[in-house]
Amino acid sequence: MRMLHTIRYGRLFDDFVPGAVYAHPWEVTVDEGMLAFFAASFQDVIPTYASRRAARGLGLRDRPVHPLLLLNLGLSFSVHDVSEQAIAHLAYMDVRFPNACYPGDTVVAASRVIGTRPVSTGDKGVVHVRTEVSNQDGEVVCSFERKVLVRVGKVSGRPAIPPQIVADERPTATLARAPASLLGELAPPPRAAFPTFWDDFEVGDVYAHEAGRTVSEAEHMQLTTLFRNSHPMHVDERYCQKSSFAKTRVVFGGLVLAWVLSLSSRDTAGNAVWDLGLDEGAHPSGVLAGDTLYAASSVVAKEERGKHAGVVVLRVIGLKNTPARVLLERGADLFTPELGKTAGRVPEKAVEITRTLLVRRRT
């Protein structure tokens, strides 16, 4: 009788070693087809990532890969070693896009365990990792930290590939890093520009974005597998009937984040030239196929950055099945983080994050 093998992936809490580096096995060449599919699904309006002409006008050699596509690849690649056994994704932190990635580049990822912390119940713990996505030349094109909640124990049947243990060399944050050409002389904006320039933002302003986006089952399943996310919570209905809080497949959070930022982009990012980063992100509740997403943004800060552009910091909120204007008119506290609230929770909130953009000035 032949030996029966069952191989399992991901890790439980006791498998994680602070300082360990897990080199994820996925290696994917980002081609024009993937960019086209991403653009058709998310409709983010930042021209640098949508138009070769706009990108070259900024001094880039070609249209770069959208940073939210890179983030989704990095999150998905890391599932294999970090979160395939996880209960929940808890937070996004220090998300940066320090170098441009271009169609034809091949990307890989690795994650370092920054720390582990058991929770008071003793049956699970929080794991904090930093993931870096690099191209074929070793340049980091996306980096981020995240926290996941996993059960205690060790995974049996996991391939015996020892992690690398190296000294902690976490890079310092590069919040305002962008290609040097973007901080120099920018060409005048096109005649048919989107409405909001850096000059139009005022700290404290709130945008209730009207566009909604219904999540279809076929689309979220196809995008999840396109990005190589292997968590059964997103792709395996039989598993979810037994093990999911929703008793059905839950939409991958990276997709929810990308849809919400895209819904907000026409009002706030149409004249942006670079996505400087994301921070303080979380998913207060899950999204299912059939839910309709909406967005709201609040202007947190702004500053000049060169003669033709400035930095805008936005707190962006994603909501499910109720438009932002309706909730705001009811007096809902949308922009206070849900974690730690003792009152005023917003059950419709599906994602919250801070986005920092480099945006053109009007003149």
**Tens digit of each residue's pLDDT (9 = 90 or more) over 226-249:** 999 998 888 889 988 988 888 889
pLDDT computed for residue 168 by the predictor:
52
283 CB-side CA count, 13 A: 22
Q: How confident is the model at residue 174 (pLDDT cuts 50, 70, 90)?
A: very low
Q: How confident is the model at residue 185 (pLDDT cuts 50, 70, 90)?
A: low
Helix 67-78 × helix 253-268 angle, to 10°: 170
**Across-strand partners of 124?**
151
The C-alpha atoms of residue 259 and residue 265 are separated, in whole angstroms, by: 10
pLDDT computed for residue 204 by the predictor:
96
Query: Do 1-156 and 192-362 fold alike per CATH?
Result: yes
pLDDT computed for residue 171 by the predictor:
43
Helix 253-268 × helix 32-42 angle, to 10°: 70
Percent of the chain with pLDDT over 90: 66
pLDDT computed for residue 190 by the predictor:
62
CATH fold group of domain 1-156? Thiol Ester Dehydrase; Chain A (3.10.129)
Phi, psi (deg, nearest 5) at residue 279 = -160, 165
The C-alpha atoms of residue 217 and residue 219 are separated, in whole angstroms, by: 6
pLDDT computed for residue 189 by the predictor:
61
- The structure tokens listed for 322 are 């109720």
84 CB-contact burial (10 Å; exposed 0-12 / middle 13-18 / buried 19+): buried
Q: Using an 8 Å Cβ cutoff, are 224 and 216 in contact?
A: no
The C-alpha atoms of residue 87 and residue 206 are separated, in whole angstroms, by: 33
At 243-276, the pLDDT tens digits run 888 888 999 999 999 999 999 999 999 999 999 9
140 CB-side CA count, 13 A: 16
At 187-225, the pLDDT tens digits run 666 666 788 999 999 999 999 999 999 999 999 999 999
Sequence-separated (6 or more) residues with CB below 8 Å from residue 3: none
pLDDT computed for residue 34 by the predictor:
94
- Which position has the higher pLDDT, 236 or 158? 236
At 305-319, the pLDDT tens digits run 878 889 999 999 999
Query: 338-354 burial, b for 16+ CB within 10 Å, e for fewer?
Result: beeeeeeebebbbbbbb
Average pLDDT (165-185) is 48
pLDDT computed for residue 363 by the predictor:
73
Residue 170 pLDDT > 60: no
Architecture of domain 192-362: Roll (3.10)
pLDDT computed for residue 264 by the predictor:
96
> Helix count (H) and strand count (E) of the chain?
9, 12
**Range with lowest mean pLDDT among 87-91, 134-138, 348-352:** 87-91
Residue 161 pLDDT > 50: yes
Helix (H, G, I), strand (E, B) or coil at 69: helix
pLDDT computed for residue 29 by the predictor:
97
Centre a 10 Å sphere on the Cβ of residue 188 and count the other Cβ atoms it contains: 10
The C-alpha atoms of residue 186 and residue 58 are separated, in whole angstroms, by: 7
Question: Parallel, antiparallel, or unpaired: how do β-strands 292-304 and 206-214 relate?
Answer: antiparallel
Domain boundaries, the chain: 1-156, 192-362
At 338-356, the pLDDT tens digits run 987 888 899 999 999 999 9
Q: How confident is the model at residue 176 (pLDDT cuts 50, 70, 90)?
A: very low
- DSSP percent split of the chain into helix, strand, coil, nearest 5: 25, 30, 45
Q: Using an 8 Å Cβ cutoff, are 144 and 77 in contact?
A: no
Helix (H, G, I), strand (E, B) or coil at 41: helix
Average pLDDT (82-99) is 90
Average pLDDT (100-112) is 95
pLDDT computed for residue 341 by the predictor:
85
Inter-CA distances, 265 with 178, 248, 293, 301, Å: 19, 30, 14, 17
Q: Using an 8 Å Cβ cutoff, are 321 and 287 in contact?
A: no
* AA letter at 353: I
The pLDDT mean for the chain works out to 88
Helix 217-226 × helix 253-268 angle, to 10°: 100
* AA letter at 94: D
pLDDT computed for residue 172 by the predictor:
40
